[in-house]
A and B are shown apart, each in its own frame.
Chain A
Amino acid sequence: MFFEEDRKEILEGVSDGVWLLGNSEQLLRISENFWIHLGKDNMAEEISVEDFKQHVFQEDLQVFNTLLDPEFDYSEMKSEIIRFVHASGHWVWFEVKIKQLKNERSGQRAFICFDISASRERERIYLEFDQMNRTGGWLIDMVNSNIFWTPSMYMVHGMQPDEPTPAIDEAINFYRKGGSRERIKALFDEAVEQGTSFDEELEFVDKLGKRKWVRSRGKPILNNGTCIKVYGTLQDITEEKQKEKEIAEESKRQFEEIFNSTYQFCAILDSNGVILNVNDQALKFGGLQLYDVVGQKFWESFWWQNSKKERSKLKKAVRTSLAGETVRYDTAVWDKDKNEVSIDFSLKSMNGRNKSTFLIAEGRSIQDMIEVQRDLETLVKSVSKHNETLRNFAYIVSHNLRSHASNISLLSGILKDAVGEPLEQNVQSMLEQASERLSDTIDHVNDVVIINTEGEAVNERLNLKKAADEAVSTVSAISENINAEISVNISSRIEVAGTHAYLESVLLNLITNSVKYRADNRTCLINVAAKKKKDRVILTVEDNGLGIDLEKHEESLFGMYKTFHGNSDARGIGLFITKNQVDSMGGNISVESQVNKGTKFTVELLSA
């Protein structure tokens, strides 16, 4: 009997296959269940060693040969792991245990096989996972200082799997000096002494000198409060860190791009109001370089040196915004030429890293807007002034037209009543007078309307001396009659821009007024003079006449139908028309006067 049936049964029952090697060393008896594990049916019970080798996975032949070596030491139960080829092509892992049988046929050996493919496959997958995650696992026995590393630990350390595992101190030296190494030491000691876990991202240099980032995690195992083991993982996170860094750099680049290309002025301040950064717009606006302002208190920087009041307001705003409130107001700052420019200014606080607070200051120039608004306000003022003038003009015209018209109706009523009766006064001549005045008034209205609708009358170059001489000569008949002395002191080179008819009318009206309102008790002296002042010509007509009580009349002096002297031929229209004519030539008229001393009219005209 080659084999004891009952023993075979037992061995087959507790294993996944049994081979028996006889003394010949040439023939193997293989149990049926072994072949079943290889998916191979109907195999002969006995097979030659050479034929059996056909079923061994190529790479494991060497191990198989050692197993069958007669010199193999069987003194104790040994085992090896050998892969066999399955019928479908994949390999099946077996742990093969060898047993020297101590039966009557001494020298016979039994090989008991256990299919460990499933656990091997799991291990392989775990290893692949570890490699994929670039994560190694480790375990340190604190009692005997034994260190266990999973294969991926070697990969993370840039080591070969067959190199000896480093001791604790050696392993710690892989961490980069100057921060990480000291940190891991402290964390490990803390884990051992205080039983705390750790999880940190640290810098690392592998055996090949490659700088890496690792995530190092560790956890102690305690027994009665004493740490007996520490285990953990080490993950190579260099790629993630690199990506993180790239993202951070990209977002920093984008931030700087936005920061510097926006049309707003931006500054970043720390929680003390010290400038950390300023964008290009703000620097260019102030004609500054970054190093001029970084490190300065914001309110002490160049832009805010225009006003002490604004500086203290800003200081207060910094405090307010640090309290979490957004501050926004209109203010003015200096540009590079120290011109004040209006800005819409805002300050808001942001939370930075590590609970720090910083402030973002923004400014938008609203100078253009303010100028437009100012122009608009001026325009509105001028329009409403014009409207007011027009309204007054309308009432005055209406007053005068109505007063003449009502006189006419009054007189015609009297005529009607008095048919056949003698009239004590000459109603007819009164009627003529009233209608004449009515037509005069209409003429005046016409004059004024024409002056005001023709727009600016500055189309001609007019020699001022020539015009003044003409006006003096026009009034000569009267002035000679009363022995008035009229002098013209104007350089013949002075030329003004205007309209001949208006200039003539202005001069004539002012000189005529001086003649009319002369003081009877002294010789009438009239001085017409002019001088140039920048792009203006200042014309003055001065007399020693009755004068005007300006306290009473200044406001209404240039109004319509205002008279001040009770002169019978005063029509109260002259100065009104004069003012309108001067205005339409782009000029200005003003008066100085003292009662019983004299009057001086000053007319500012545009120089030609």
Chain B
Amino acid sequence: MKRNLILVDDDPIFQFGMQHLVKRLTNQVNFSVISSGAELLEFLSTANMEEIPDVILLDLNMPEMSGWEVLEHLKEIDLGKKVSIYVCSSSINPVDIRKANEISIVSEYVIKPIELTELEELLEAAG
């Protein structure tokens, strides 16, 4: 069964790049892009069980609603299955890294850019 991967990022270039990488890596992943936190929360609230993602790649630095706020909301939502959430940012600020790792629902903090092998490992780890 194909797994669902959702990238939450406002940067069109990164969106494009990731889509390209996933396509090169496997055809066993349904890759979709969401450009803001609000849209993600909206999607999750209406999605049926098959649409709930297995993996979320979440950017931190987004206008209106930052990745941190999205995480605050996600903590409160019962998605009905295990979802691996990867925080994915260009920030190498140790404060950000520590803060992300302290949030229970975050699987890992991934520093951009994401290499092909890194994405592969990440998907494998997510089962």
Q: How far is the CA of A407 from the CA of B95 in the complex (A)?
A: 23
The segment from B9-17, B44-52, B100-108 found at the interface with A is B9-17
Instruction: Please indicate the chain B residues that have their CB under 8 angstroms from the CB of A409 in the complex.
Output: 113
Alpha-carbon distance between A606 and B87 when the two chains are bound, in angstroms: 45
B63 contacts A by Cβ under 8 Å: yes
A425 touches which one: B16, B21, B36, B112 (CB < 8 A)?
B16
B92 at the A/B interface (Cβ < 8 Å)? yes
A403 touches B63 (CB 8 A): no
Q: Which residues of A contact B24 (CB under 8 A)?
A: 417
Contact A564 B63 (CB under 8 A): yes
Roughly how many angstroms separate A407 CA and B112 CA in the complex, as a whole number?
A: 9
Q: Closest CB of chain A to B1's CB: distance in Å?
A: 26
**Alpha-carbon distance A425/B11, docked complex (angstroms):** 15
- Decide if A243 is an interface residue (CB 8 Å cutoff): no
Tell me the minimal C-beta distance from B94 to chain A in angstroms: 9
Please tell me which one of the listed residues A402, A403, A567 contacts residue B11 in the complex, with CB atoms under 8 A apart. Answer: A403
B-binding segment of A24-32, A166-174, A361-369, A392-400: A392-400
Cβ-neighbour of A410 out of B14, B91, B93 (below 8 A): B14
A411 touches B13 (CB 8 A): yes
Q: A425-B16, A564-B64 are in contact. Are A410 and B92 (CB under 8 A)?
A: no
Distance in angstroms between the alpha carbons of A85 and B13 in the assembled complex: 144
The complex places the Cα of A398 from the Cα of B93 at a distance, in Å, of 9
**Once A and B bind, how many residue pairs between them come within 8 Å at the CB atom?**
69
CA distance in complex: A411, B15 (Å): 11
Q: Does B30 contact A (CB under 8 A)?
A: no
Chain A residues 552 to 566 lying within 8 A of chain B, measured CB to CB, are 561, 563-566
Interface size class of A (residues with CB under 8 A): 20 to 34
Q: Please indicate the chain B residues that have their CB under 8 angstroms from the CB of A434 in the complex.
A: 13
CB <8 Å contact, A398 and B113: no
The residues of B that contact A395 with a CB separation of less than 8 Å are 91-93, 95-96
**Set A399, A570, A572: member contacting B90, Cβ < 8 A:** A399
Residue of A nearest to B89 (CB): A399
Which residues from 62 to 117 on chain B have a C-beta closer than 8 Å to any C-beta of chain A?
A: 63-64, 89-93, 95-96, 112-113
Alpha-carbon separation in the docked complex, A403 to B93 (Å):
13
The reply on A289 being an interface residue by CB < 8 A is: no
- Please pick, from A399, A400, A407, A566, the residue contacting B63 in the complex, using a CB distance under 8 A: A566
Q: Are A561 and B90 in contact (CB under 8 A)?
A: no
B11: chain A residues at CB < 8 Å are 403, 407
Q: Find out whether the CB atom of A433 lies under 8 angstroms from the CB atom of B90.
A: no
Taking the closest CB of chain A, its distance from the CB of B46, in whole angstroms, is 21
When distances are taken between beta carbons in the complex, the residues of chain B under 8 Å from A406 are 14, 90, 112-113
Distance (Å) between the CB of A264 and the closest chain B CB? 51
In the bound complex, residues from chain B placing their C-beta under 8 Å from that of A563 are 63-64
By DSSP majority rule, is chain A's interface helix, strand, loop, or mixed? helix
Identify which of residues 76-118 in chain A touch chain B, using a CB-to-CB cut-off of 8 Å: none
Q: Closest residue of chain B to A417, judged by CB?
A: B24
Interface residue A430 (Cβ < 8 Å from any Cβ of B): yes
Rounded to whole Å, the gap between the CB of B89 and the closest CB of chain A is: 7
Q: What is the 8 Å Cβ interface bit string for chain A, positions 530-568, against chain B (1 contact, 0 not)?
A: 000000000000000000000000000000010111110
Centre residue among B13, B16, B64, B113 by max chain A CB count within 10 A: B13
Contact bitstring A122-153, B, C-beta under 8 A = 1, else 0: 00000000000000000000000000000000
Residue of B at shortest CB range from A406? B113
Query: Does B4 have its Cβ within 8 Å of any Cβ on chain A?
Result: no
Query: A407, A417, A561, A570: which contacts B14 (Cβ < 8 A)?
Result: A407
* With known contacts A410-B14, A433-B13, A564-B63, A400–B90 Cβ distance under 8 A: yes
Q: Are B63 and A411 in contact (CB-based, < 8 A)? A: no
B38 (CB) vs chain A CBs: closest residue: A566
- Of residues 1 through 50 on chain B, the ones whose CB sits less than 8 Å from some CB of chain A are 11-14, 16-17, 20-21, 24, 36
Question: Which chain A residues border B36 with CB–CB below 8 Å?
Answer: 566
Give the residue among A406, A411, A427, A567 with the most B Cβ atoms within 10 A: A406
Q: Which of A381-406 contact B (CB under 8 A)?
A: 395, 398-400, 402-403, 406
The docked-state distance in angstroms from the alpha carbon of A561 to that of B64 is 12
Bound form: Cα–Cα A566–B36 in Å: 9
Task: Check B112 against A411 for contact (C-beta < 8 Å).
Answer: no
Given A409-B113, A410-B14, A430-B16: 7 more A-B contacts, CB < 8 Å: A395-B93, A395-B95, A399-B89, A400-B90, A406-B112, A565-B64, A566-B63
Query: Can you list 17 A-B contacts (CB < 8 A)?
Result: A395-B95, A399-B91, A402-B90, A402-B91, A403-B61, A406-B14, A406-B113, A407-B13, A410-B14, A410-B113, A413-B17, A414-B16, A430-B16, A561-B61, A563-B63, A563-B64, A566-B63
Report B's interface with A, CB cutoff 8 A: 11-14, 16-17, 20-21, 24, 36, 61, 63-64, 89-93, 95-96, 112-113
Q: Which 9 A-B pairs have the closest CB atoms?
A: A406-B113, A410-B17, A403-B90, A395-B93, A402-B90, A563-B63, A407-B13, A399-B91, A566-B64
